Each structure stands twice: as C-alpha cells, then as structure tokens.
C-alpha cells in the first residue's frame, strides 16, 4: 500500500467511533484519540469496529483503515508472509 510506513491498531471504547478510543503504532506507546481524525494517514490502522458500523461511518472508503478481520481475509502463507509483502520484515536476497 503506497504511503504506508507503519501498522497500528485502534480499540474504540464503543461502536461509535466518534466517542474515541485507544490507538498504538507498532513499537510505540498507546495514545488516546477522540475520533478517527486523530489518526495519521501514513499508518495502516486495524480497527475493532463491526462491519455495519465501519460501513455506516464511511471508513471503508479510506484505504488506511481496515477491520480486524482484514488479516484473516488474505489467502497467503500466514501473517509472516503478509508482513513481508508489506515490507515490514527484512527480505533475504542472495548476492546474485
């Protein structure tokens, strides 16, 4: 995904994202947000919102917001392959 530099997760307090929650970027400290507007666009955010709420709030129209089921939807060899495809794991290339 172009422009993504990190992966983070968001745990909203309620099903209404306007009521805020906690967010954390991989390797960082958790921080409080009041709305999704407090999240940067350079992070792929995995959120705990149900499908209907996600759609109703238009979050499905933003490429850097994904539901927690996003990683389950990939038909790859597992989470390690997903992370490597995103460039989050070092690639091991031979000298050739």
Reported pTM: 0.70
Question: Comparing 31-35, 59-63, 67-71, which segment has the lowest mean pLDDT?
Answer: 67-71
Handedness of CA 4, 68, 13, 11 (dihedral sign): negative
pLDDT digits (tens, 9 = 90+) for 35-53: 998 899 899 999 988 888 9
Q: What is the pLDDT of residue 23?
A: 95
């Amino acid at each position: 995904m172009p422009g993504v530099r990190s992966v983070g997760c968001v745990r909203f307090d309620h099903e209404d994202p306007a009521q805020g929650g906690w967010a954390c970027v991989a390797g960082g400290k958790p921080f409080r947000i009041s709305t999704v507007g407090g999240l940067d666009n350079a992070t792929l955010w995995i959120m705990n919102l149900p499908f209907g709420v996600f759609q109703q709030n238009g979050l499905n129209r933003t490429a850097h917001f994904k539901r927690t089921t996003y990683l389950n939807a990939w038909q790859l060899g597992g989470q390690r392959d997903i992370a490597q495809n995103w460039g989050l794991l070092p690639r091991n290339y031979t000298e050739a």
